[in-house]
Amino acid sequence: MKITFSRFDLRLKHTFTIARGGRDVSPVVIVELEHGGIVGYGEAAPSARYGESPDSVSGFLAALNLTAFKTPFELESILTYVEKAAPGNTAAKASVDLALHDWIGKKLGLPLYRYWGLEGGKTPRTSFTIGIDSPKVIEQKVREAELYPILKIKLGGDNDEEIIRTIRGVTKKTLRVDANEGWKKREVAVERIKWLEQEGVEFVEQPMPAADLAGTAWVRERVNLPLIADENSLRLQDVPKLQGAFDGINIKLMKCTGLREAQRMIGTARACSMKVMLGCMIESSVAISAAAQLAPLVEYADLDGNVLINNDPFDGVRSLDGVLRLTDRPGHGAVRLEH
């Protein structure tokens, strides 16, 4: 089993700004796991919010020693070893998880969703994300998102009202809001969420800082819109702790170390009567296609990382009228494009 990896800079169509800052390029690390003539592809999209960078991913992967394992079918043992190799490094760990799953799907000749007994036609609609920007650019982005029936709006700054008014001036579509921990005071969060309810917003993601879970529970008692955890919902062990503070969780492969743990988080969320959203970072079609394999299991999808970039090195899952279309390609279904 041979692992190779290389950095790739994803170029954003628009500067992407959220409550924590903006960027034009988003580096990822693409992983190739080769065994018996089959290559499984993985991807790490490291986030500084969680202490990772392309260098930390490369360092983590370079230090792995998989010589003790004979085949990717030993996925459970391999990922247990990878998990214990170092704390954190969740995107780096996810890249190995994705490559192993892709390899197994290819070896068996099955798309992962079918391997898991899921129906490809049961995926939810996916939202298109509109970052924080000037009214003029936001109007342009909303027009570009014409084919998406649901928009996810990044808020949490000083111009929340201006952004929503701009968008409502252009479209009546369903909106979802992500504050990315931007509302630091409970009273502010309650006031904004009540206002957003009147503006036709479906739910609010991570209104308060992850460190203030009690504050989020306080807010939830005073608003009607469902609250979805993102920065509070990283790994499996976080899920039960969120009962009472959130109505659902946003699972991202890069936060939770990959498909194996994501499946467990979905099961745990169900046991806690919580809804599930599948989210993403700025990612190529490798990680987006991998996450999409789980989409038949969830209520909400926000898997648009690959459509926010203009140099995707892979072709994978696509959405039609905002609905994710899973294909018959084996594994996660992302294939490398020739350059």
Looking at 6-14, 132-140, 170-178, 291-299, which segment touches Mg ion (CB under 5 A)? 170-178
Provide the Cα torsion 159, 163, 166, 169; round to 10°: -120
β-strand pairing of 323-325 with 318-320: antiparallel
Q: Which is nearer to Mg ion, 30 or 249 (CB)?
A: 249
Kindly tell me which residue out of 97, 102, 133, 230 binds Mg ion, with binding defined by CB under 5 A. Answer: 230
Among 212, 224, 230, which residue's Cα sits nearest to residue 279?
A: 230
- Footprint of Mg ion on 60-89 (CB under 5 A): none
Tokens of 288: 């987006």
Tokens of 202: 């479906």
Q: Which is nearer to Mg ion, 178 or 283 (CB)?
A: 178
Does position 304 interact with Mg ion (CB under 5 A)? The reply is: no
Given a contact cutoff of 8 angstroms between Cβ atoms, the answer to whether 64 and 32 are in contact is no
Among 115, 125, 127, which residue's Cα sits nearest to residue 329?
A: 115
Pairwise CA distance, residues 196 & 284, whole Å? 31
Q: How far is the CB of 310 from Mg ion (least distance, A)?
A: 22
Among 213, 178, 174, which residue's Cα sits nearest to residue 192?
A: 178
Does position 212 interact with Mg ion (CB under 5 A)? The reply is: no
Q: How far is the CB of 279 from Mg ion (least distance, A)?
A: 6
Q: How far is the CB of 121 from Mg ion (least distance, A)?
A: 27
Q: How far is the CB of 252 from Mg ion (least distance, A)?
A: 8
Does position 178 interact with Mg ion (CB under 5 A)? The reply is: yes
- Residues that bind Mg ion (rule: CB under 5 A) add up to a total of 3
**Torsion 65-67-68-70 (CA) sign:** positive
Q: How far is the CB of 237 from Mg ion (least distance, A)?
A: 19
Looking at 25-33, 71-79, 108-116, 198-206, which segment touches Mg ion (CB under 5 A)? 198-206
Residues that bind Mg ion (CB under 5 A): 178, 205, 230
